[in-house]
C-alpha cells in the first residue's frame, strides 16, 4: 500500500532498482553476496543462487506476482552459509530449499 506523502517527505528513500540485464544482475547480486557473507558462500554458490533468482523473477512477472529480489537472494545465502559449511553441502542444500526460498506464491509452483 502507498505511504502518506507527509510520511514519505520525512523519510530517507533508497531506491534499490535491480538491473534489467541478466549478467549485470548476476554481477550485482554476487557483489552484494560477497559483501554480506565473504567466503562463507563460494562464488559458485552465489552465482547458482543468482541464476535461480533470475529464473524465478521471470516466472513471477509472467504470473503477475511480485518477483523475488535482493532480500530473498541474501536470505538464501544466509540459510546456505548457516546450514552448509562446505561448498558441496551448500549445493546440495540449494537443491532442497531453492523452491521455498525464492518462490513465495502458490502460482509459481509446478503442479
What does pTM read for this prediction?
0.83
Give residue for cell 523519510: 11
Closest CA to 73 of 25, 108, 21, 106: 25
Instruction: Give the contacts of 30 (CB within 8 A, at least 6 positions apart).
Output: 43, 46, 47, 50
User: Residue ranges per domain, the chain?
Assistant: 18-108
Where do runs of H (alpha helix) occur along the chain?
Answer: 5-9, 22-37, 43-63, 70-83, 87-102
C-alpha of 109 from chain center: 17
Sign of CA dihedral 46, 48, 51, 52: negative
pLDDT in tens, 42-73: 999 999 999 999 999 999 999 999 999 999 99
Average of per-residue pLDDT across 32-51 = 96
pLDDT at 110: 65
Cell digits of residue 91: 549445493
Amino acid at each position: 500500500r502507498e505511504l502518506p506523502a507527509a510520511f514519505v517527505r520525512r523519510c530517507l528513500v533508497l531506491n534499490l532498482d535491480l538491473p534489467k540485464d541478466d549478467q549485470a544482475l548476476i554481477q550485482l547480486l554476487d557483489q552484494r553476496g560477497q559483501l554480506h557473507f565473504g567466503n562463507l558462500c563460494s562464488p559458485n554458490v552465489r552465482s547458482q543462487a543468482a541464476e535461480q533468482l533470475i529464473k524465478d523473477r521471470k516466472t513471477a512477472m509472467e504470473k503477475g506476482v511480485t518477483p523475488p529480489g535482493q532480500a530473498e537472494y541474501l536470505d538464501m545465502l544466509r540459510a546456505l552459509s548457516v546450514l552448509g559449511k562446505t561448498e558441496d553441502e551448500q549445493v546440495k542444500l540449494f537443491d532442497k530449499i531453492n523452491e521455498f526460498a525464492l518462490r513465495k506464491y502458490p502460482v509459481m509452483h509446478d503442479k
